[in-house]
Amino acid sequence: MLIDDLLARRLVVLSGKGGVGKSLVGAALAVAAHRRGKRVLLVEVDTPAVAEAGRFLGAGPGGGAERELRPGLSTLNLHPGAVMEEYVRHTVRAEFLARRVLDSPLYHRFFAAAPGLKELMTLGKVMTLEEGRSGWSRNPRYDLIVLDAPATGHGLAFLKVPLAAAETVPVGPVGSNARRILDLLRDAERTALVVVAVPEEMAVVEALEFHRMAVEQVGMTACALVLNACHERRFTKAQESEVLRLTAEEATGTLPGGVSLSAALDAARRLLRRERMTRFYQGRLRRALALPLVSLPFLFQEQIGPAQVEQMADRLEAA
């Protein structure tokens, strides 16, 4: 089972083109893991205003702290700027000094703007969370961390930061931390990459491209492809031909409830087209990569909430 394979890791990194539903997939994966008794942390890297995973799980948008939504299932929204401030506060113990560092022009003009530094801090925080231990037994605080990484293009830049940092800063704690982060990302036993796409040309091309670069340039190991928003068969083959025949004949009539047959046929035809696209891209992804492919259904709901997340988790578990 795919889910067991994923749950054997410590960190699952999700990436894909913007708008493909990474956050929903992340929430569903966290729920699926939680159902199997894992202590799970779902991490988003976002500004608080637009963080979604918490909302999908039925909680309002949260600040920058870990929140336990139900026992064993927590979310955390990492805002890179806030992570950096936290780091300064942690390092400079005295609040008044920390405040002065944070208020200083040096901090604002240099550290807050230094390319890659926030990303490095954010990944460093994820690593710290992965290493977190609790209680007398020194058990890991979380069995699994699901990281909802930024969308591809930038996601790759995000994941490449430790590599660049390890090369730029050869010594000192930052350099060694960068190398440790890189080790974590590259360790196939601990970390799995899951690439998310939807059945559309650009999303699929980008998923394949991202996968190739993440493997070649960062050295990560991909574990699965998730194809979200799939249109699944709603008509039998015979019904499908019947729909096409009736459409060609411009059949008229009324369905129960007073719905016009031609309007319903039009809707059916549109959905049949999407179904064919879904099958086309499923085939293409299967041919392109020897990775397990999980298809998740398109949701017609306006509001996506805990019920839909549970439904998606069912699908992930069954895959």
Partner 1 sequence: MKASARSVLARALAERRVVIVCGAGGVGKTTTAAALAVHAAVQGRRVLVCTIDPSRRLATSLGLQKLPEKPRRLDLSQLDGGLGAQPQRAQAERFLGRERAIHSRASDSMDEKREAGAPGRSGVSPQGPSAGIHFRREPPNAPSGEAWAMTLDTKRTFDALVERHAGSEAARRRILDNRFYQKVSAALAGSHEFMAMEKLLELSADERFDLVVLDTPPTRHALDFLEAPDRMMGFLDASVLRWFLKPYFAAGRLTLKVATRAGRVALGLVDRYLGLRFLQDLSEFFLAFESMYAGFKERAAAVHVLLRGQSAGFVLVASPARVAVDEALYFYERLREAGMPFVATVVNRVHPDPAEPAAGRPRQRKAAVAHVDTDLARALLQAYDDLHRLARAERRVITRLEVDTGEPLLLVPELESDVHDLRGLAHVAELMLGEETEPAKKRRAR
Contacts (CB under 8 A) with partner 1, residues 238-257: 239, 242-243, 246-257
Instruction: Copy the structure tokens of residue 147.
Output: 């990281």
Which segment (5-13, 70-78, 185-193, 259-267) binds partner 1 by CB under 8 A?
259-267
For 243, phi and psi rounded to 5 degrees?
Answer: -60, -45
> Among 48, 81, 219, 277, which residue sits at the site for partner 1 (rule: CB under 8 A)?
277
Selected range binding partner 1 among 64-72, 141-149, 196-204, 307-315, rule: CB under 8 A: 196-204
Taking the least distance from each CB to partner 1, the nearer of 97 and 307 is: 97
Residue 189 within binding range of partner 1, rule CB under 8 A: no
DSSP string, 190-239: TEEEEEEE-SSHHHHHHHHHHHHHIIIII---EEEEEEEEEPPP-S-HHH
The residue among 164 and 291 lying less far from partner 1, judged by its C-beta, is 164
82 contacts partner 1 (rule: CB under 8 A): no
Output the CA torsion sign for 311, 62, 43, 23.
Answer: positive
Tell me the C-alpha distance between 155 and 265, whole Å.
41
Q: What is the DSSP letter of 293?
A: E
Smallest separation, CB 234 to partner 1 (Å) = 6
49 binds partner 1 (CB under 8 A): yes
Q: Which is nearer to partner 1, 35 or 89 (CB)?
A: 89
Give the residue with the Cβ less far from partner 1, 277 or 291: 277
Encoded one letter per residue, x for contact with partner 1 by CB under 8 A and - for no contact, window 144-183 reads -------xxxx-xxx-xx--xx-xxxxxxxxx--------
Decide whether 36 or 276 has the Cβ nearer to partner 1.
Answer: 276
Interacting positions 100-139 with partner 1 (CB under 8 A): 100-101, 103-116, 119
Q: What CA–CA distance (Å, rounded) separates 212 from 203?
A: 14
Q: Tokens representing 144?
A: 């699994």
Taken in order 148, 152, 309, 301, the sign of the CA dihedral is positive
Q: Which stretch binds partner 1 (CB under 8 A): 3-11, 34-42, 268-276, 285-293?
A: 268-276
- CB neighbourhood size of 91 (10 A): 9
59 near partner 1 (CB under 8 A): no
> Which residue carries 């980008």 as its tokens?
206
| Residues contacting residue 173 through CB under 8 Å, at least 6 positions apart | none
In terms of residues, how long is the chain?
319
| Piece of the chain touching partner 1 by CB under 8 A; list 2-10, 12-20, 70-78, 141-149 | 12-20
Residues 170 and 118: their CA atoms lie apart, in Å, by 18
Out of 38, 89, 186, 269, point to the residue binding partner 1 (CB under 8 A). Answer: 269
Out of 48, 186, 190, 261, point to the residue binding partner 1 (CB under 8 A): 261
Please tell me whether residue 30 binds partner 1 under the rule CB under 8 A: no
Q: Is 215 in the site for partner 1 (CB under 8 A)?
A: no
Structure tokens at 129: 């969370």
From the CB of 5, what's the least distance to partner 1, in Å?
27
- Residues in contact with partner 1, counted by CB under 8 A, come to a total of 97
User: Beta strand 254-255 with 293-297: parallel, antiparallel or unpaired?
Assistant: unpaired
Q: Are 96 and 114 in contact (CB under 8 A)?
A: no
